[in-house]
Amino acid sequence: MKKLQVFLLLTVLVTACVTFPQLFTQAQAESISAIKMTNSDTVVFDEGLQQEVITLAKNSVVTVLSESNGWAKINSTFYTGYVPSGSLQAAPVQYMLTSAKFEPNVRLINDAQGEIIGNLPSNHIVEVYTTDAAGWSFVRIGDLSGFVTTIALTTPIKKQRIVKEPTGLTVHYKASSSSDTIGTLPKSTEVTMLSIFNGWAFITSQTVSGYVPVIGLKEAPKNTSTTDPKPSNNLGKKQIALTFDDGPHPKVTPQIIQILNKYDAKATFFVVGKNVKKYPGVVKKVSDAGHEIGNHTYEHKKLTALTVKQINSQIQLTDNAVEAAIDQPTTVFRPPYGAYNKTITGLLEVPNIMWSIDTLDWKHHDPSKTLQIVKTNAKRDSIVLMHDIHQTTADSLDSVLAYLSQQGYEFVTVSELLEK
């Protein structure tokens, strides 16, 4: 019966520290249209659109099988049903490379005992939609989607290429000329190549991502690359919110404040109450520098495993510690591991904040990987997850801020981003 508890707590203000419940399965008889997310709590109806099957939480990720007349047929682990098309939005995707040494198992659920529904081919690009703290990622390649162990995935090396074929190139869904076509690229289009397999290159461009014949590409001249222009006034400012969890740390947090100040960048720090009690002076430095203080519970426990009384205690003790340190309450909340439900959000008096980019700094401890993940995924209004308890995070921050500044981003707090 445990597997029948179908709920998905991942939000787009999410990429990482939650064990995602099981809302995914492989469509057996229909082609996959898209992976999308709910933009509000959404009721799933049966085929007759009469009976409610289940209610999906806001920002649940689902597989869309088809859409017609304002309704989308979606697939979850144990259910297939219909939701209004207007309740869905595009899910953020990250492209990763599968292991070159073995073919990872794809499982129906994010559990080592879960049913195996296929395998990922080695050295192929896959679409990654979620990554959790337990080491599982939800991926799609072709018509196969499910959970794989995250250690089987690596960040691909990007190479700039230009379409050289006079008639352009047809982009295919799979690395095969018999695969469905999903677009075309005119001659001289600049693309980013992420991998090569049996004469096919996986590329991304401003309009389409997929497979093209390698022979149709040529290396992009280094002296012709253009710089990213500053955003025009009529488009408004490109804003991004940097967030730091689990502090304060007596050494790392002050370093991060200093680097943020160098770029006149404001950020949001989701603090752990017991650390605030140890280092109230550090929290005051964060606040005095103009950064936002958020509540990340007192002991960083998984709230969904606690009683209501215990949850309240974790929240209130942290608020008390923060107010004692800076004479101000916390203004936002983030649940440890991204684990929350309606009971938890019902207890909050401030917004519950997730993330859209997980730098995985807590996992790889590699400044270059942190920078690469930001480069790959940064977009307007992103919320970036980092941790101010790791020296390697502080070591990466200068290069992250330099890159984002060059791309024209303004660094704001989460609350400032929500006000847009």
Active-site residues, by number, are 245, 387
CA dist 370 and 386 (Å) reads: 9
β-bridge mates for residue 145, sequence order:
140
Query: For residue 361, which amino acid is it?
Result: D
β-bridge mates for residue 217, sequence order:
163
CA dist 87 and 78 (Å) reads: 20
pLDDT for the residue numbered 349? 85
409, two tokens: 């981003």
CA dist 254 and 282 (Å) reads: 7
Omega into 248 within 30° of 0, i.e. cis? yes
pTM for the model stands at 0.48
406, two tokens: 């060059």
One digit per residue, the tens of pLDDT, for the chain of length 420 reads: 333 333 333 333 333 333 333 333 333 323 445 788 788 888 888 888 888 888 888 877 788 888 888 898 987 766 788 999 888 887 778 888 887 677 889 888 888 888 898 998 887 888 888 777 778 888 888 778 888 888 888 888 888 899 998 889 999 888 888 888 888 899 889 999 988 878 888 998 877 888 899 899 988 775 433 333 333 343 457 899 999 999 999 999 999 999 999 999 999 999 999 999 999 999 999 999 999 999 999 999 999 999 999 999 999 999 999 999 999 889 999 999 988 888 898 888 889 999 989 999 999 999 999 999 999 999 988 999 999 999 999 999 999 999 999 999 999 999 998 876
Q: What angle do CA 377, 331, 303 make, to 5 degrees?
A: 75
Q: How many other β-carbons are positioned within 10 Å of the β-carbon of residue 252?
A: 22
**Comparing C-alpha atoms, which of 273, 274, 268 is closest to residue 287?**
268
pLDDT for the residue numbered 9? 32
pLDDT for the residue numbered 419? 77
Residues in the chain: 420
